[in-house]
Amino acid sequence: MSEYNMQTEKKAALTIVGIHLFLLLIKIIFNQNISVTAYGDTCFMIALFFLMIGALFSILGSGFFDFFQKNMKRQLFHKKNMKKANFIPLSQVAPRRPTYWFEVATFFLLISLLSLLFT
């Protein structure tokens, strides 16, 4: 296992534990009772957030929008006396491997599905 994978797994595990502790604390403070259904619903919403961010990074990292971005820069900076702006493709800005986001989302989705079984 490479060092990169171990770092992302540690980061994902710490994120999961931190969010769960924060979520439990908020639920206890505001609701005074914790039901399995409410906790599962909240975990599902958190999973959706992480899935959307992961999907966004994977789409941007694939290079799909690089062509459109290049053409828009070409159209906007078409003046002859204006120097060409530096072109940094979106695929280089987005992270190469959005696995961190998908790992956290998968864990929260599994907890949400397990809560469905126990209700």
Q: How far is CA 105 from the centre of its chain?
A: 8
**CA separation for the pair 79, 75 (Å, rounded):** 9
pLDDT by residue for the chain (119 residues), tens only, comes to: 456 566 777 777 888 888 888 887 787 778 766 788 888 888 898 899 999 999 998 888 888 888 888 787 777 776 554 555 566 777 787 776 788 889 889 988 999 999 999 87
pLDDT at 85: 57
The C-alpha atoms of residue 86 and residue 74 are separated, in whole angstroms, by 11
CA distance 53 to 43: 16
Residues near 69 by Cβ (< 8 Å), separated by ≥ 6? Answer: 87, 89, 90
